[in-house]
């Protein structure tokens, strides 16, 4: 199909994040990809991020901008990205956020630098830490990328890999102030009680505070839950999951009356490579009563090259479409977004470097 594209260096970004990575060695943007630029990063020194005007001349000033990012442990594996919006009437393109995303050797995101107006100065900086099993255990956020972190988040897991503690530490002083989640397992080892307290004040009075009784199998797969909104002793909702032999979730069933009969269901389908290729919501769990569907298209290598969200499954002419392309090393090279699935690209982006696909 004829897709209307924009300038050369573009980068695709949904909020869930499309991250770009640059090549090894000194990059064309003046950023040394080793995490200890000037030999100082590992001992708390400065990381200097520069751009040399590798952007559209009509969109921003091409002077070199230098921004200092005071974090430790930046990886030498990273992806460079920029988002551009729909073409305006005068022929100019509105530039949105620019990103530098750094990965570890397991493709976990370890740092994300956000330049909100693509002028070469980072406005928000995020740093992430993981345990030996690749589970995120903490994060640090800076809202100016110049000093100590402004906000932290810490998490903990049990031996089955189930999240048992989570919360936001606004001052990074070791005290949770927001989004407190605590999970305590009962003696049977598979039933747990979850408490979510948004403002961490010990009183479940916020609109989305909740208590849940959760049931797992012996390997930590969540099987079912019983929701008590606001922890007032009244059961509000029940739900349960169904998995295939590879532990891909095939059904998420909602039982609003907790009578064992689902009133609404999400059904999922997967490829032979265990990649999700369809997600449909069924009113009353009736496969003939679909109320929203997302499908993913794979190429011959099993890479996701398209996604369409619409009202029905199958060959449906309307919706929200995304198209991805890759290089020979399976790194993303572009992401085009067609908000109406009408062959007009509203966001046309390019990726540079080591850029893993993420939905």
Rounded Cα–Cα distance for residues 343 and 251 (Å): 32
Complete DSSP assignment for 234-277: ---EEEEEEE-TT--EEEEEEETT-SS--SEEEEEEE-TTS-EE
Q: What is the pLDDT of residues 89-119, one digit of tens each?
A: 666 567 778 889 999 999 999 999 998 888 8
The whole-number pLDDT of residue 221 equals: 97
Task: Please give the pLDDT value at position 71.
Answer: 52
- Name the pTM for this structure: 0.77
Q: Helix or strand or coil: residue 351?
A: strand
Tell me the percentage of the chain whose pLDDT exceeds 70: 77
Distance CA 213, CA 139 (A): 28
Q: Which of 55-59, 148-152, 210-214 has the highest mean pLDDT?
A: 210-214
> With bands split at pLDDT 50, 70 and 90, how would you rate the model's confidence at 129?
very high
- pLDDT surpassing 60 at residue 29: no
- How far apart (Å, rounded) are the C-alpha atoms in residues 239 and 243? 14
**pLDDT at position 58 over 80:** no
Please tell me whether residue 37 adopts helix, strand or coil conformation.
helix
- Give the pLDDT of residue 266: 97
Give the range among 14-18, 78-82, 226-230, 347-351 with minimum mean pLDDT: 14-18
* 38: DSSP letter: G
- Please provide the average confidence, as pLDDT, over all residues in the chain: 80
Range scoring the smallest mean pLDDT among 52-56, 189-193, 231-235, 281-285 = 52-56
Examine the pLDDT at 26 and tell me if it is beyond 50: no
Domain ranges of the chain: 153-262
Judged against a pLDDT cut of 90, whether residue 157 lies above it is answered with yes
pLDDT at 86: 66
The DSSP-derived string for 178-234 is EEEEEEEE-TTSSEEEEEEETT-SS---STT-EEEEEEE-TTS-EEEEEEEETTSS-
- Residue 164 CA to residue 186 CA, distance in Å, equals 13
Q: What is the DSSP-derived secondary structure letter of residue 303?
A: -
The model's confidence at residue 265, banded by pLDDT at 50, 70 and 90, is: very high
Average pLDDT over residues 127-156: 94
pLDDT of residue 312: 86
3-state secondary structure 45-108: CCEEEEECCCCCCCCCCCCCEEEEECCCCCCCEEEEEEEEEEECCCCCEEEEEEEEEEECCCCC
Averaged pLDDT for residues 320-340: 93
How high is the pLDDT of residue 56? Answer: 37
Task: Answer whether residue 167 shows pLDDT above 80.
Answer: yes
pLDDT tier for residue 148 given thresholds of 50, 70 and 90: confident
- The mean per-residue pLDDT over the stretch 193-213 comes to 94
Q: Which band of pLDDT confidence, cut at 50, 70 and 90, is reported for residue 8? A: very low
pLDDT band with cut points at 50, 70 and 90 for residue 201: very high
If 0-12 CB within 10 Å is exposed, 13-18 middle and 19+ buried, where does residue 114 land? middle
Residue 242: the pLDDT is: 96
Range ranked top by mean pLDDT from 74-78, 161-165, 207-211: 161-165
In the predicted model, is pLDDT for residue 214 greater than 60?
yes
For the segment 9-28, the average pLDDT, to the nearest whole number, is: 32
Q: Please check whether residue 169 is in contact with residue 154, taking contact to mean a CB–CB distance below 8 angstroms.
A: yes
Q: Which of 36-45, 125-134, 316-325, 349-358 has the lowest mean pLDDT?
A: 36-45
Q: Answer for the pair 49, 32: CB distance below 8 angstroms, yes or no.
A: no
CA angle, 86 then 88 then 92, to 5°: 100
């Amino acid at each position: 199909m004829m897709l209307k594209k924009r300038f050369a260096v573009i980068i695709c970004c949904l909020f869930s994040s499309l991250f770009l990575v640059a090549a090894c060695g000194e990059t064309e943007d003046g950023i040394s990809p080793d995490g200890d630029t000037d030999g100082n990063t590992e001992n708390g020194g400065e990381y200097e991020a520069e751009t040399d005007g590798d952007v559209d001349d009509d969109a921003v000033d091409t002077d070199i901008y230098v921004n200092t990012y005071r974090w430790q442990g930046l990886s030498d594996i990273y992806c460079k990205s920029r988002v551009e919006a729909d073409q305006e009437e005068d022929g100019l393109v509105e530039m949105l956020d620019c990103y530098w995303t750094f990965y570890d050797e397991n493709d976990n995101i370890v740092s994300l630098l956000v330049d909100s107006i693509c002028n070469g100065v980072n406005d928000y900086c995020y740093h992430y830490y993981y345990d030996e099993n690749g589970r995120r255990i903490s994060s640090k956020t800076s809202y100016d990328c110049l000093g100590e972190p402004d906000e932290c988040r810490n998490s903990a897991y049990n031996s089955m890999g189930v999240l048992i503690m989570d919360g936001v530490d606004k001052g990074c002083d070791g005290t949770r102030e927001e989004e407190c989640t605590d999970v305590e397992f009962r003696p049977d080892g598979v039933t747990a009680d979850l408490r979510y307290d948004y403002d961490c004040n010990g009183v479940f009075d916020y609109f989305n505070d909740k208590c849940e009784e959760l049931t797992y199998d012996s390997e930590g797969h969540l099987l079912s839950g019983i929701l008590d909104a606001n922890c007032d002793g009244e059961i509000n909702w029940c739900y349960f999951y169904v998995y295939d032999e590879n532990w891909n979730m095939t059904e998420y069933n909602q039982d609003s009356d907790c009578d064992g009969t689902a009133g609404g269901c999400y059904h999922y389908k997967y490829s032979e490579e265990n990649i999700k290729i369809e997600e449909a919501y069924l009113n009353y769990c009736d496969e003939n009563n679909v109320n929203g569907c997302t499908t993913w298209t794979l190429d011959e290598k099993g890479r996701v090259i398209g996604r369409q969200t619409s009202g029905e499954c199958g060959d449906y002419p309307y919706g929200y479409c995304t198209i991805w392309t890759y290089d020979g090393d399976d790194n993303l090279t572009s992401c085009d977004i067609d908000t109406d699935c009408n062959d007009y690209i509203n966001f046309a982006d390019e990726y540079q470097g080591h850029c893993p696909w993420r939905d």
